[in-house]
Structure 1
Amino acid sequence: ITGYATLELAVRTTKLGAYDFVTKPFTPNELLGVVERGLEVRRLTLEARSLAEERDRRLLEIATEKSRLRTIINCLADGVLVINRERQLVLYNPAILTLLSLKEAPRLGQPFEQYLPNPEMATLLAESLSSPDSQYSRVAREFSLDPEGKTVVMANVAAVRDENGQILGAVLVLRDITQLKELDRMKAQFIAMVAHELRAPLAAIKGYLDLILGDTVRDPAQIRHMLERCNQRGEALLALIQDLLEVSRLEAARTFRRIEQLPLADILQSALELVSPQARTRKVSITCELPAELPLLQADREEMIRLFTNLLSNAIKYNREEGKVWVETKVEEPYVRIDISDTGVGIPREALPKLFREFFRLRTPETKYVTGTGLGLSIVKKIVDAHGGRVEAISELGEGSTFTVYLPLPEQVGKST
């Protein structure tokens, strides 16, 4: 309110934030009108500021949510690819590039078909855009991504719809199931092998017993021989079942292990005592060369004894009569190394990678009469792996074999003599 109003003054005060001005003389109604206009301007200003703040907050939330969604999609192990109604690529993640072996990143807005190497997969995704079903539906199908069938994926395809059920696009999710398919194959093979290994001794036992019970054989010496064979087959069957139980126990996620500090010399001595009758029968000599000081192991006693018993037993079984077995140990930081060598028949080079598989048996003229379950070395590897070590084998056919076990040393453990 001023009595010296000029246009210049009005402009300056407005720039300083004045809503309006009134010059003298004025009536109360004129003053009231100016004040009301000022209050309305103030209200509108505050409302505009609030709307701007709300807009900024929403934009930030959208940007944050979009970033979060993008991060989640990028971190997925499954490949994700999204297209719009025009069959143009609108979204993908790095995993899809790996699965599809794409050397260059796809360009958004391009037709998606050029990025899918399998025509059937592209057709499946395109068909989802014309799905008549207004509800959510998903189609799952297996595809091979290469002619050799080395990489197998499960493709899940679904249409993307709005709240009214209208199709906006489609999403393709690829999951690599190559390992699952291999596990299924190995499982079927394992079951077939177990069935065969169980059936063979049972059939032999039943055959001998049928002959005895049917009075087909009456000679006491022959009957005794058959009963001895039944006993041998029964022992082989029991050994197979025990090994199967051991494999199952070692593969169980919650296997309990009594980890303690163990003198390596005591473990090796216990294993040697267990195989000494077998060595005497085969006339195999065992030499154990141990240094004056041996480290302690941080391990499960029973599993360590089983580990070295299996290796020593194999060294005896696959040895020549009056052959030799050597046991040597030395420290190779951060491991203790145990070598078990023999003068046996040896292992063909092509068989070495298969040694630690379940039920693998060496089939040569020299080993066809050797009995066993084919699980001993697989048990060895599972025990070594469970204790953070590794096991290796070197051999030449006819020249014997050496199995080397590396077990980690405890970080702060004393020495035992």
Structure 2
Amino acid sequence: MVVLLIVLGLSLCLNIYLYMKRNAHYKQLEYIHLKLQRIVLEKTEEKLLLYTENSQIQSVLTQINRLLDYNQIMAADYNRIERSMRRMLSNISHDIKTPLTVILGYTEMMTNDESLSPQQMNSLLNIVNLKAEEVIGLINKFFELAKLESEDKTVEVSKVNINEICRKKILDYYDIVSSEDFKVSILIPEESYYAFVNTVEMERVLDNLLSNAIKYGADGKMVGVEVKADKGHIYIVVSDQGKGIDEIHKEHVFDRMYTMDDSRNSRYQGSGLGLTITKTLVEKMGGEILLESTPYERTAFTVKLNRFIG
């Protein structure tokens, strides 16, 4: 009889324990449900904070919190892209509207003003032609960037002498920098450095960087090209001593259509696509591009490529 009572007592205690444990698990699951519901509805950045000895619930909480972290990252990226798109649409409307307004104004003048001399007509036609080319150039850049960012576009690479490409590009710009009285700093070693890149696209990268250095670095009257390497990488540094890029702009200079405030005037006019295309091309060739800038001291874009050693 005593044994039976002990067994019944133990069984009752066990049932009570299991009931309390199930009840605790129910409350924990209810907490998870309500907390998740609030996070979704209120779009908060909270996490699920719950102490439990149940390893399965712990595992579920860990995975849910990882998903919440990922969701926050994706939401931040979406907001950043949305802001970039709004800024891009605003800038392109400005960049296309301005030359089109000029074209319409001059064509109206040529149509209605019978007093224009042949020389004046020719001058106006030249302006209209330049503005039309400006619009076409901007549209072409958009299509070019769209192609580069599509999965269908690949950049074929081969073993290329980086020193020779840099020397060639400097020669291409010799007349421009000479006419503008620029000081040129060239640091290209005699030892040849090789990387797997696309020659045409690499030249376009250097074109963009050198033309930017000449345009935006005009105040400093200096442009520099340096090639250096370590065991695994080659570095091409294009620098100037111009107005530079303030800290607040540095993280955005490679964004689509991003232009600093003063680039909306004629002296610094740009589409805001050049550096985006440059960055995309470099990454397509397995490299990366870096920026450092101290206004009126040194602004340098560094292209980092994987070095081929054979």
CA contact (8 A) 1:326 1:342 kept: yes
Shift of 1:388: 2.5
CA contact (8 A) 2:220 2:243 kept: no
Shift of 1:331: 0.8
Equivalent of residue 44 in structure 2, options 138, 145, 148:
145
Shift of 1:397: 2.2
State the identity %.
23
1:113/1:347 CA distance change after superposition, 3 Å: same
| Structure 1 residue 369 corresponds to structure 2 residue 267 | yes
Count of residue pairs brought into register by the alignment: 265
1:312/1:211 CA distance change after superposition, 3 Å: same
Segment of structure 1 superposing worse, 242-251 or 273-282: 273-282
Larger Rg, first or second structure (1 or 2):
1
CA contact (8 A) 1:318 1:367 kept: no
Partner of 2:142: 244
Partner of 1:326: 224
Q: Deviations over 1:49-95 (max 9, x none)?
A: xxxxxxxxxxxxxxxxxxxxxxxxxxxxxxxxxxxxxxxxx9xxxxx
CA contact (8 A) 2:84 2:255 kept: no
Q: Secondary structure at the match of 1:341?
A: strand
Q: Secondary structure at the match of 2:251?
A: helix
Equivalent of residue 245 in structure 2, options 335, 347, 353:
347
CA contact (8 A) 2:155 2:285 kept: no
| Structure 1 residue 403 corresponds to structure 2 residue 289 | no
Shift of 1:385: 1.9
Q: Secondary structure at the match of 1:346?
A: coil
What is the alpha-carbon distance in structure 2 between the residues aligned to residue 230 and residue 350 of structure 1?
37
CA contact (8 A) 2:154 2:284 kept: no
CA contact (8 A) 2:287 2:306 kept: yes
What is the alpha-carbon distance in structure 1 between the residues aligned to residue 263 and residue 206 of structure 2?
26
- Aligned residue type for 1:398: Y
Partner of 1:41: none
Q: Secondary structure at the match of 2:218?
A: coil
1:210/1:250 CA distance change after superposition, 3 Å: same
Q: Deviations over 1:113-166 (max 9, x none)?
A: 5335769x359xxxxxxxxxxxxxxxxx8751249xxx9xxxxxxxxxxxxxxx
- Aligned residue type for 1:390: E
Shift of 1:245: 2.3
Q: Secondary structure at the match of 1:392?
A: strand
Structure 1, unaligned runs of 5 or more: 1-89, 91-106, 124-140, 152-172
What is the alpha-carbon distance in structure 2 between the residues aligned to residue 399 and residue 223 of structure 1?
46
Partner of 2:152: 254
Partner of 2:186: 288
Shift of 1:365: 8.4
| Structure 1 residue 298 corresponds to structure 2 residue 196 | yes
Shift of 1:220: 4.8
Q: Secondary structure at the match of 1:407?
A: strand
CA contact (8 A) 1:341 1:403 kept: yes
CA contact (8 A) 1:299 1:387 kept: yes
Q: Secondary structure at the match of 1:294?
A: coil
Partner of 2:283: 385
Partner of 1:115: 32
Q: Deviations over 1:205-233 (max 9, x none)?
A: 12221111121762555444433332332
Shift of 1:289: 2.1
Partner of 2:107: 209
CA contact (8 A) 1:346 1:401 kept: yes
What is the alpha-carbon distance in structure 1 between the residues aligned to residue 117 and residue 286 of structure 2?
56
CA contact (8 A) 1:346 1:395 kept: yes
Partner of 1:79: none
1:228/1:194 CA distance change after superposition, 3 Å: same
Structure 2, unaligned runs of 5 or more: 1-21, 48-66
1:205/1:281 CA distance change after superposition, 3 Å: farther
Determine which structure has the larger strand proportion and give its number.
Answer: 1
1:216/1:108 CA distance change after superposition, 3 Å: farther
TM-score scaled to structure 2, two decimals? 0.73
- Aligned residue type for 2:193: P
Higher RCO, Cα 8 Å, sep 6+ = 2
Shift of 1:288: 2.5
CA contact (8 A) 1:283 1:323 kept: yes
Q: Secondary structure at the match of 2:228?
A: strand
Segment of structure 1 superposing worse, 177-186 or 264-273: 177-186
